[in-house]
Amino acid sequence: MLRHFLKNHSAVKIFMLPIFCCCQLTVYSQNNTLSGVVKSTTNDILPFASVSIKGTTEGTSTDENGFFKLDVKNEKVDLQISSVGYKTYSKTIDLRSLHTEPLEIQLTSLAYDLDQVVITGTMRETFISASPVKVDVISQKVLKKIATSNLMEVIENVNGVQKQVNCGVCGTNDIHINGMEGPYTLVLIDGMPIMSSLSTVYGLNGIPTSLIKQIEIIKGPSSTLYGTEAVAGVINIITKQAEDVYTFEVDAFVTSHFEKNIDFSIAPKFKKVDMLFSGNVFSMNHFLDDNNDNFSDIPLSNRLSLFNKWSLTRKSEKTLSFSAKYYNEDRSGGVKEWSQDYRGSDNIYGESIFTDRFELVGSYQFPTNEDIRLDISYNYHHQDAFYGNTKHEAWQQIYFSNLLWNKKIGYTHDLLVGTSQRYQMYKDSTLAMIDERQYIPAIFVQDEIILNKKWSVLLGLRSDYHKEHRLVYSPRLNVKWKVGEQSTFRFNCGTGFRLVNLFTEDHAFLTGSRDVQIVEELEPEESYNINLNFNHLLLLPHSTGAIDFDVFYTYFDNKIVPNYDIDPNLIIYANLDGFSVSRGFAFNIQQNFDFPLSLTLGATFLDVYSETNGVKEKELFAPSFSGKTSFSYQFKNDFSLSWTAKIVGPMELPAYPEPYSRPEKSPWFSQHHLQLKKVFNKSFNAYMGVKNVFNYTQPSPLVDWKNPFGDNFDTSYAYGPLQSRRFLVGLSYKL
């Protein structure tokens, strides 16, 4: 009867509604109803999270808005909430002390995060899980596991990536991806190719980890978006914003080898402007000679790196940012008796390199309805060096711009169209008296097509114009197939090309006694690549993680190969009269447990070779196997322990004639690092560690080191660690 009355009297219904709701709240309170909203720490709602009361069968899950409501028997309960990719939330709740408002609960993401934003694969922001291009990410959590002054000591702990030392005296190094030499890897800073040619020889040590927010790595050619040099892959260093740091931060450590490092950053908080100023100071002036060859095991160095970044808040909410970086280094290596007074000496051997480098990067998003952005960069690099009594002085300037238009067409198409302009000036006053200028314009287009919930395709094409070689085309195809909620296949194929800047990229002819001989006009290198990736989330009872499998194959045509074997006094450069192949497979497992333990394990199996007239020859310094592993454990008393290690299999090494012959294949070796950290409060923590725990170093990387001015002296026999075990202690303060 009451129902019939209310049904026919709408005014009465409106009047009675608040009273009815109050009655409902009272009933819920009497029945011990627990309700809440579950979100991530970035305030994203988490639908379908599991909600349960420990020790009972009571449970439910959040709806599509992250909301849950659960009737419980007791007034005091142990609430547990779990969601894939997040740490389990556990807390004792006393319902008698709660107000009527729902709880707001935040879950902390695990280290393996499929919702990390990446840019490198498609030149626009997207999530790892959504990207059709496989992107590996080194996050802040990984960066903090190893106390280091620069990028190179971090990158060598990534599966499939190897730091290669090219000179055992001055310490030049580069980055190998899947066994391919350093010049095939393009290093970007905030998406701009300002680390190239001359700067890749010494500039990589000038990128301190203090300015890095995250590192994105693509293995495989990316010439469609980034042009020449992106043949083996791309490493994009995303720098920090002011919002990523405290108002003031300082971090300093010292090692038992008397290496001293200080990082600092200042980020004052303004209303309409974000500003970050950071710097790194590194000093190593202690002579080490543990291998007893009378040469310093690692170069002595004094480095200064300063970084300043500004971001402006505009009414249009469009991007406007610019940054500047300055890098200066005084690096030297040689015999114990050498000092700067003997710079250029022909009787006391030493190698001395002065580096001055300046970089500018800017990004401007036009205040239009269309997504149009202009990215620009400029860098100046000056190197003044002596290798024994051989002088090398060079200057390089690169102007670069990208004009991008990103247009979403309906739900199925995401179109990116752009043009890039690159102008490079290089001058060398001491070797071949080079004074060259190159202007390389390019246009590119890509379209990401979403076919359905499971399938998406990325098509891309780039065309670069070179004065000597005319138009060069670089197509690519990426296909993503999402098999289920936990499994994804990615298939990538494309081409790459590279113009060789011989005297800026390869310093082997400077650091030894060999002369350079170029027997023909060098043609651009071309490559064709296929990569298959499988990613699967591992959802085990008490842990969450992922496993990756990669199979890759790269075929090179016109590859430029330095030949050290024909004449011990020559390095002969020529386009390969045949072909070269880099192939292999890799896997990587990352698992994070409910208790505070995270593990990673990865391995890469390589077969890199060149073939001419049916004769197969293995690539130098390309290990057939390499493995990387790490684990981290968080103790209850705010201590954390991190262990990182790598194991490297045999690799082919240069051949030398008698009586200077050395093994032509390296042995198996491993290197381990340990770090213990104590967090005292939000502002202050301390850490200590051991690098190269088991003290493995290779024998001297120098050939005929007793006669450094002789015809047989060579510095390129470096395949393993050169610095022995050292201990470190550091402090970090944030305000």
SS (H, E, C) 203-218: HHHHCCHHHEEEEEEE
Both tokens assigned to 9: 């009297």
pLDDT value at 179 more than 90: no
C-alpha 180/C-alpha 160 separation (Å) is 10
C-alpha 673/C-alpha 645 separation (Å) is 6
Q: Rounded mean pLDDT of the chain?
A: 83
pLDDT value at 228 more than 60: yes
Sign of CA dihedral 49, 51, 57, 58: negative
C-alpha 170/C-alpha 173 separation (Å) is 9
Query: Would you list the domain boundaries of the chain?
Result: 31-107, 235-734
Both tokens assigned to 294: 């009378």
Calculate mean pLDDT across residues 574-580. 80
According to the model, what pLDDT value does residue 507 have? 55
Split at pLDDT 50, 70, 90, the class of 628 is: very high
C-alpha gyration radius of the chain: 29
Give 29 or 627, the one with higher predicted confidence: 627
Calculate mean pLDDT across residues 340-360. 93
According to the model, what pLDDT value does residue 569 have? 66
C-alpha 591/C-alpha 594 separation (Å) is 10
C-alpha 341/C-alpha 79 separation (Å) is 71
pLDDT value at 700 more than 50: yes
Other CB atoms within 10 Å distance of the CB of residue 115:
13
pLDDT value at 23 more than 60: no
SS3 366: coil
46: nearest Cα among 89, 78, 84: 84
- 420: β partners: 402, 442
Split at pLDDT 50, 70, 90, the class of 490 is: very high
Backbone angles phi, psi at 513, to 5 degrees: -95, -5
Of 21-25, 312-316, 634-638, 726-730, least confident by mean pLDDT is 21-25
Q: Are 462 and 422 in contact (CB under 8 A)?
A: no
According to the model, what pLDDT value does residue 538 have? 81
CA dihedral 652, 657, 658, 662 (to 10 degrees): -20
Of 21-35, 86-100, 200-214, 550-564, least confident by mean pLDDT is 21-35
Other CB atoms within 10 Å distance of the CB of residue 130:
16
Of 144-148, 168-172, 294-298, 677-681, least confident by mean pLDDT is 144-148
For the domain covering 235-734, report its CATH number: 2.40.170.20
SS3 95: helix
Backbone angles phi, psi at 679, to 5 degrees: -100, 115
Both tokens assigned to 103: 């709880």
Burial of 361 (0-12, 13-18, 19+ CB in 10 A): buried
According to the model, what pLDDT value does residue 100 have? 63
Split at pLDDT 50, 70, 90, the class of 251 is: very high
Q: Are 587 and 549 in contact (CB under 8 A)?
A: yes
Q: Are 642 and 677 in contact (CB under 8 A)?
A: yes
According to the model, what pLDDT value does residue 214 have? 86
Q: In Å, how far are 168, 651, 715 from 719, measured between CA atoms?
A: 10, 8, 11
According to the model, what pLDDT value does residue 25 have? 34
Give 196 or 663, the one with higher predicted confidence: 663
DSSP character at residue 503 = H
Split at pLDDT 50, 70, 90, the class of 343 is: very high
C-alpha 576/C-alpha 574 separation (Å) is 6
pLDDT value at 114 more than 90: no
Backbone angles phi, psi at 200, to 5 degrees: -75, -15
Q: Are 159 and 603 in contact (CB under 8 A)?
A: yes
Q: Are 604 and 159 in contact (CB under 8 A)?
A: yes
pLDDT value at 9 more than 70: no
Q: Are 287 and 336 in contact (CB under 8 A)?
A: yes
Of 23-32, 337-346, 490-499, 705-714, least confident by mean pLDDT is 23-32
Calculate mean pLDDT across residues 547-558. 89
∠ CA(198), CA(201), CA(205), 5° rounding? 120
C-alpha 359/C-alpha 377 separation (Å) is 7
224: nearest Cα among 456, 469, 443: 443
Split at pLDDT 50, 70, 90, the class of 18 is: very low
**What is the tens place of the pLDDT at every residue in 655-687?**
888 888 899 999 999 999 999 999 998 889 999
pLDDT value at 145 more than 50: yes
Q: Are 240 and 278 in contact (CB under 8 A)?
A: yes
70: nearest Cα among 82, 61, 80: 61
Class (C level, CATH) for 31-107? mainly beta
According to the model, what pLDDT value does residue 339 have? 93
According to the model, what pLDDT value does residue 647 have? 96
pLDDT value at 202 more than 80: no
C-alpha 551/C-alpha 529 separation (Å) is 11
Q: Could you tell me how many helices (H) and strands (E) the chain has, helices first?
A: 8, 42
**What is the tens place of the pLDDT at every residue in 498-515?**
776 665 555 555 555 556
Which H or E element spans position 153? Answer: helix 152-155
In the block, residue with structure tokens 């995270």: 598
Residue percentage of the chain with pLDDT more than 70: 84
Calculate mean pLDDT across residues 465-489. 87
pLDDT value at 285 more than 90: yes
C-alpha 275/C-alpha 309 separation (Å) is 6
According to the model, what pLDDT value does residue 376 have? 94
C-alpha 157/C-alpha 97 separation (Å) is 50
DSSP character at residue 432 = S
Q: Do domains 31-107 and 235-734 have the same CATH topology?
A: no
Calculate mean pLDDT across residues 395-409. 92
C-alpha 155/C-alpha 463 separation (Å) is 31
Q: In Å, how far are 28, 481, 638 from 686, measured between CA atoms?
A: 49, 45, 11
* Pairing state between β 413-428 and 434-450: antiparallel
Of 169-178, 395-404, 661-670, 700-709, least confident by mean pLDDT is 169-178
Q: 91-95, 169-173, 634-638, 674-678 — which one is most confidently predicted on average? A: 674-678
Split at pLDDT 50, 70, 90, the class of 99 is: low
* Pairing state between β 233-239 and 185-189: parallel
- pTM > 0.95: yes or no: no
According to the model, what pLDDT value does residue 508 have? 54
In the block, residue with structure tokens 């952005």: 373
DSSP character at residue 632 = E
